[in-house]
Amino acid sequence: MNSLIFIFGLLIGISIFFYIYSSVKDSQEKSGKFASAKDKEVKEVVEPDNIGFRGIRSIPSGTRICPLCGSLLTKYEGLYATKIFDGSERKILIMGCKYCYKDD
């Protein structure tokens, strides 16, 4: 009877070992596939100093600009925009800043 319990426990232990081993092996293969896919991608690096807008070279990152006229905006100046519905989608239509509507 003792030998039967020993063999039964040994078989359960071996099956648990193989189950854990196969799950670890599968997770390693999956992570290897993602790593190889990431290695194949060519990443384009953009330096923030090289970003320009409408003839203005070298705008510091975090600078707020109007997408229509290119004016530099302060923290307290905003854009005029309205919400429109295109079919079932909601969109924002930017109409400009206070410098776009300034009288010349």
Average pLDDT of the chain, as a whole number = 79
pLDDT one-digit tens code per residue, 8-32: 899 999 999 999 998 888 887 777 6
pLDDT on residue 29: 75
Euclidean distance between CA atoms 63 and 40, whole angstroms? 34
pLDDT on residue 16: 94
Domain ranges of the chain: 48-96
On the question of pLDDT at 54 being above 70, the answer is: no
pLDDT on residue 41: 67
pTM over 0.75: no
With a CB cutoff of 8 Å and minimum separation 6, the contacts of 98 are 77, 80
Read off the pLDDT of each residue in 71-88 and give the average, rounded to a whole number: 89
Euclidean distance between CA atoms 24 and 80, whole angstroms? 55
